[in-house]
């Protein structure tokens, strides 16, 4: 029987543990933080559950020893914000075993980062590296052993390197999520990275509602309050830059509105504003926000900036997306072009688009 290790203990990590446990597979959650108030209760209870749009759960293991979690695990899931990828990869790499499958959720260029780090540290273990473009659910921790699922997605995409292992990885996760979420194949990991709709959904509404968020951080609703008809228009402009950047690289990317419909349900809406206010929206109950939250601190340096640099390398300009990076950098006093996910940090700064694509085939 496959053994799973979930590296991360946030909303997504706990949700994955419950999902895997409900299917009957052994799963161990690794807690990466030394001071985690919930950990002792999780380790004592040894169960995790989902409620809301999905109701399931089962027994899990919990450890603060990453070696204990990874030993003998056939599948390693890294489910953390992208700023945590590098420190976790440093701990993972010396412990990797031949034949392991690594899935990073969401990818945010993590496959390139992991490959570059494995090369740097001389790791030659034969593993597969896979990524999704998004989480399979909109979710939040309700209590130490319960994650509330606001809404599950119908479809999520996976790409794998080497691509010859894609069907095997797809089979594993379609088995784990059978009856709930369906996973489909994308042909390339870079396509996964450029398909992350957080590029469009998160940064611009925060920047255009900065004052209101500062005044009302506990009650501000990012999607319901932050996305107005005019802001939605600008989001569609920014999304068009992402789609055209994909075309310059050689991908046919799906616009964010159509991705939302694929994720959460089809309807006749014509704009992102209309969709987030439709019955299919998963976002109505998401309350509370921060101008220094991950919608800027993760998605600007980890998604918008590298996609814009990839586009630039392919000969396509992204003026609105670049403005988002510049404005977030100015407001936070941080140069998100250089302190986040740079092409150099991914090991692809000196490579052509064709070479970048060849690295992950």
Q: Same structural domain for residues 173 and 295? A: no
Q: Same structural domain for residues 155 and 209? A: no
pLDDT band at 305 (very low <50, low <70, confident <90, very high): very high
Q: Confirm whether 217 is domain-assigned.
A: yes
Per-residue model confidence (pLDDT) at position 361? 82
Per-residue model confidence (pLDDT) at position 285? 79
Q: Confirm whether 288 is domain-assigned.
A: yes
Per-residue model confidence (pLDDT) at position 284? 85
The domain that contains 45 carries what CATH number? Answer: 3.40.50.720
Q: Confirm whether 310 is domain-assigned.
A: yes
Stretch among 25-39, 83-97, 232-246, 294-308 having the lowest mean pLDDT: 25-39
Count of domains in the chain? 2
Beta bridge partners of 4: 27, 75
Nearest to 191 by CA among 219, 214, 157, 224: 157
Q: Confirm whether 327 is domain-assigned.
A: yes
Compute the distance between CA of residue 5 and CA of residue 11 in angstroms, rounded to an integer.
Answer: 16
pLDDT band at 8 (very low <50, low <70, confident <90, very high): very high
Domain that holds residue 57: 4-187
335 has a pLDDT exceeding 80: yes
Q: Confirm whether 193 is domain-assigned.
A: no
SS3 27: strand
Q: Same structural domain for residues 131 and 246? A: no
Per-residue model confidence (pLDDT) at position 340? 87
Between the alpha carbon of residue 196 and those of residues 99, 110, 260, the distances in Å are 28, 13, 11
Q: Which is higher by pLDDT, 51 or 40?
A: 51
The mean of the pLDDT values for the chain is 96
Q: Same structural domain for residues 227 and 329? A: yes
The domain that contains 329 carries what CATH number? Answer: 1.10.1040.10
Stretch among 9-23, 34-48, 168-182, 189-203 having the lowest mean pLDDT: 34-48
Per-residue model confidence (pLDDT) at position 263? 96
Q: Same structural domain for residues 135 and 204? A: no
pLDDT tens for each residue of 172-208: 999 999 999 999 999 899 999 999 999 999 999 999 9
Q: Confirm whether 192 is domain-assigned.
A: no
Q: Confirm whether 342 is domain-assigned.
A: yes
Q: What global pTM score does this model have?
A: 0.94
pLDDT tens for each residue of 120-135: 999 999 999 999 999 9
Nearest to 199 by CA among 62, 341, 67: 341
Q: Same structural domain for residues 139 and 238? A: no
């Amino acid at each position: 029987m496959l053994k799973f290790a979930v590296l991360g203990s946030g909303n997504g990590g706990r949700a994955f543990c419950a999902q895997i446990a409900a299917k009957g597979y052994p799963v161990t959650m690794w807690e990466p933080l030394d001071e985690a108030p919930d950990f002792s209760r999780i380790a004592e209870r040894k169960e995790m559950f989902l409620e809301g749009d999905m109701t399931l759960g089962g027994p899990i293991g919990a450890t603060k020893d990453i070696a204990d979690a990874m030993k003998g695990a056939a599948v390693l899931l890294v489910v953390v914000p992208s700023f945590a990828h590098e420190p976790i990869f440093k701990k993972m790499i010396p412990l990797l075993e031949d034949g392991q499958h690594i899935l990073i959720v969401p990818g945010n260029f993590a496959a390139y980062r992991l490959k570059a780090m494995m090369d740097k540290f001389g790791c030659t273990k034969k593993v597969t590296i896979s990524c999704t473009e998004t989480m399979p659910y909109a979710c939040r921790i309700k209590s130490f052993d319960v994650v509330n699922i606001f809404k599950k997605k119908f479809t999520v995409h996976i790409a794998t390197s080497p691509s010859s292992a894609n069907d095997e990885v797809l089979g594993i996760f379609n088995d784990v999520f059978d009856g709930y979420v369906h996973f489909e194949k994308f042909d390339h990991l870079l396509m996964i990275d450029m398909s992350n709709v957080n590029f469009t959904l998160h940064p611009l509404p925060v920047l255009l509602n900065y004052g209101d968020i500062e005044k009302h951080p506990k009650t501000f609703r990012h999607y319901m309050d932050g996305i107005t008809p005019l802001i939605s228009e600008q989001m569609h402009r920014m999304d068009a830059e992402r789609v055209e950047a994909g075309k310059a690289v050689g991908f046919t990317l799906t616009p964010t509105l159509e991705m939302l419909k694929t994720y959460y349900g089809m309807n006749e809406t014509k704009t992102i504003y209309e969709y987030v206010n439709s019955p299919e929206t998963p976002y109505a109950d998401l309350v509370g926000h921060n101008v220094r939250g991950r919608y800027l601190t993760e998605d600007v340096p980890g998604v918008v900036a590298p996609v814009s640099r990839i586009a630039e390398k392919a000969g396509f300009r992204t003026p609105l997306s670049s403005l988002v990076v510049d404005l977030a950098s100015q407001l936070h006093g941080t140069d998100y072009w250089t302190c986040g996910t740079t092409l150099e940090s991914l090991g692809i700064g000196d490579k052509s688009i064709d070479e970048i694509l060849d690295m992950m085939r």
